Structure 1
Amino acid sequence: MEHLSIGEFARTSGLTAKALRLYDDLDLLRPDRVDPFTGYRWYAPAQLDRARLVARLRLIGMPLARIREVASAPAGVAADLVRAYWRQVEADTASRRDIVASLVQHLRTKETTMHNTSGPTLTPRSAARLGQGARPAQQDALHAGRSLFVVADGFGPHRSPVPAGLAIDAFTALDGPWPESDGDPAAALRAAFTEAQRAITTEAATLTDAHHFGTTVTAALLVGSTLFSAHVGDSRLWLVRDGRAEQVTRDHTVVAALIEEGRLTEDEARSHADRSLLNRALVPAGTGGHSDAGPDLTSTPVRPGDRLVLTGDGVHAVLDADHVAALLTRDGDPDVVGQEIADAVEAAGAPDNYAVVVVDLDA
């Protein structure tokens, strides 16, 4: 029988050799033959369908025991098993929705205020870099102002205006000195998000095909010594303090949610064909899916010496986590650090548009 090496099988299946070794360890996809002397794995072409099926079942969060059952069942039975699993997922989600509604109501009765801006006013120093990379058009956009910093990663037809630019325009009205004695920064960010969606919805109506038209948005507003953020998608906001970089936002992707729940490993996520598939983004209203999902709103106390960094996925999806952390924590002013990040992305081939904003906070 003809066999494929692990490298050939990986290329043909769309997986990686690392993922195949992991599936072997998890007893989800054993090689057809293992060389007794070298330990090298060999696969049969007939195993390709199972490999692709396992990867897709992992992506919906199916437990390992059920995946083995589905992958070993005849096609008709396998379809029934997947349908039964998803029916239970939807029932579980409905039950949790009721619990969440009750919990939110309970917490709101105890809420004092989310927009406490007490503390010294910090002075930001910022720099930004925007690159087109290997893409045919620039669809990322950014803003680095006096108190507002935004990164947006647009997607859709290569035309102007791009959705990322429309989103940036909606947020820039918030830039400048903020009245610390009144106002609600979180509410203002939410309103800017709503305005951005209105602009994107209006633009989408002029397109013959508005499918897959939208943007990610990560916005950071500095008020006094508090950082307010609004976030949707997989751009990121980082806080660098005491030599450590911490991701403030969570990626709104299918694989990120599964990793957080412990249903998918980091190795699987990095090698999965759908690793960048968004489950939340800023898209035209009424288009279904995640069009009604608002942004995550957070407030974070900050202090002199902190550094804020906003990156599009053209940065953190290209560079490995350790490399990103080393770049974000480098000594130097924002312009130097921003240029080093851009240089690192270019050195890695810059396969995508990229955007980065670096902000150092002074007393």
Structure 2
Amino acid sequence: MEETLTIGAFAKACRLSPKALRLYDELDLLRPARVDPDTGYRYYAAGQLERARLVAWLRRLGMPLAEIRHVCALGPAAAAREIRAHWARVEAETAVRRDLAAFLVDHLTEESRGDLTMNATTLELRYCAHSDRGRVRPANQDTAYAGGRLLAVADGFGPAGAPASSAAVEALRFLDTPEIPAGGVLNLLEDAVQGAARAVRDVADGTDGVGTTLTALLWTGSRLAMVHLGDSRAYLLRDGNLFRITHDHTVVQSMLDEGRLTPEEATCHPQRSLLLKALTGKETTTTPDLRLHDAQAGDRYLLCSDGLSAVVPDDTIERLLTGAPAPDEAVHTLITAANEAGGPDNISCVVADVVEPAP
């Protein structure tokens, strides 16, 4: 007969408290080998120690109990994959919070110096925006906008996708003003996204499957504050090198982050357009990515819908952006490239150059 341990001895051996063991018994996560019918006292088999230690380690990792139950039911190789995927999700969520913390630090530091104002402009934007139906879709559900302070792209979806993307961008138009109102850029962006969410819900009017992505940059005179939801993208071309400054909120991107897919597999995955975050017609709280980017004279920014990024590789985007002398030429060259690649989706591009102000 296999050796049994009292709950106290078992708790000490596996580094779980007796209280935790009683909870895991009730949740059917770690049942005792035997329960005394008279006293109700729990006894555990020595062979259960390995599972108990795994539960303890996973709890220290911060894994939810439901997920631990799933992992414990798997073989070693599959369990290892699930733990790797869990930690990738934790790191992705931590990265979003880290970006927001950095944003807040920068914002409050500059507010304390009193120099975060729109009218202290030292650089300017030269910009162009255009949206194209593409060669396959019967209508254009994208919206692209560029002004002296605001750059935005929204990619609508569902029966009212076009009105949804238009409403989201229109809700941000109040930002395109020479001065930041009282409250600062962070509060402005938060209010703007909430307003865009309400506008999309009004357009959807209860219809399922209606929504839009939203990627926007707000110019402060020396910096660009970014808000991002979905799989539209923002890129920075600096010193001839292209950097993607947004992270796709898609199922496929999360699988890439978790190591479940290779980049090659992701390009042809059937769910590559399935969004994890967007502005939709539902009354839900969606947290956007917020970042603040220092700008330099000579920088070129690109905002685009996935009608461009899904069919034109980043190295081609870099080459075309580098070769176009002005934003309007860059926009039309990129849209032409997407159409020549089949134009399977609507294509929206905003290109903005950071330049010294004219004398």
Computing the radius of gyration over CA atoms, which structure comes out larger, 1 or 2? 2
Structure 1 outlier segments of 4+, above 6 Å: none
The answer to whether structure 1 residue 355 and structure 2 residue 355 are counterparts is no
1:336 to 329, 338, 359: 329
The 1-side partners of 2:258 and 2:305 are apart by 24
Which residue identity does 1:140 align to in structure 2?
D
Q: Contact conserved, 2:215 with 2:234, CA < 8 A, in 1?
A: yes
TM-superposed CA distance for 1:328, in Å, is 2.2
Please, which runs of 5 or more residues in structure 2 have no aligned partner? 1-72, 111-115
The 2-side partners of 1:320 and 1:112 are apart by 33
TM-superposed CA distance for 1:136, in Å, is 1.2
Q: How does 1:71-82 map to 2 (within 5 A)?
A: none
RMSD in angstroms over aligned alpha carbons?
3.2
1:226 to 204, 223, 226: 223
The 1-side partners of 2:343 and 2:108 are apart by 39
The answer to whether structure 1 residue 213 and structure 2 residue 214 are counterparts is no
Please, which runs of 5 or more residues in structure 1 have no aligned partner? 1-79
The answer to whether structure 1 residue 320 and structure 2 residue 313 are counterparts is yes
Could you say what secondary structure the match of 1:329 adopts? helix
Which residue identity does 2:338 align to in structure 1?
V
Q: Contact conserved, 1:239 with 1:309, CA < 8 A, in 2?
A: yes
Q: Contact conserved, 1:197 with 1:285, CA < 8 A, in 2?
A: no
Match of 2:9 in 1: none
Which residue identity does 2:266 align to in structure 1?
A
Match of 1:163 in 2: 164
Q: Contact conserved, 2:142 with 2:162, CA < 8 A, in 1?
A: no
The answer to whether structure 1 residue 113 and structure 2 residue 107 are counterparts is yes
Match of 2:264 in 1: 267
Q: Contact conserved, 1:285 with 1:292, CA < 8 A, in 2?
A: no
Match of 1:299 in 2: 292
CA deviation digits over 1:272-323, x for unaligned, max 9? Answer: 111121111111233xxxx422211100000111111101000010112221
Match of 1:127 in 2: 128
The answer to whether structure 1 residue 237 and structure 2 residue 234 are counterparts is yes
Pair 1:257–1:160, CA change in 2 (3 A): closer
The answer to whether structure 1 residue 142 and structure 2 residue 139 are counterparts is no
CA deviation digits over 1:153-174, x for unaligned, max 9? Answer: 00011x5862000101100110
Q: Normalising by the residue count of structure 1, what TM-score does the alignment of the two structures yield?
A: 0.66
Pair 1:271–1:224, CA change in 2 (3 A): same
Identity %: 38
CA deviation digits over 1:97-149, x for unaligned, max 9? Answer: 9x96xx87xx69x9463573488521111112210112111100011111100
Q: Contact conserved, 1:126 with 1:335, CA < 8 A, in 2?
A: yes
Pair 1:354–1:112, CA change in 2 (3 A): closer
Match of 1:50 in 2: none
The 2-side partners of 1:132 and 1:111 are apart by 41
TM-superposed CA distance for 1:343, in Å, is 1.1
Pair 1:152–1:331, CA change in 2 (3 A): same
Pair 1:355–1:221, CA change in 2 (3 A): same
TM-superposed CA distance for 1:360, in Å, is 0.7
* Count of aligned residue pairs for this structure pair: 268
Q: Contact conserved, 1:114 with 1:299, CA < 8 A, in 2?
A: no
The 2-side partners of 1:297 and 1:161 are apart by 25
The answer to whether structure 1 residue 190 and structure 2 residue 190 are counterparts is yes
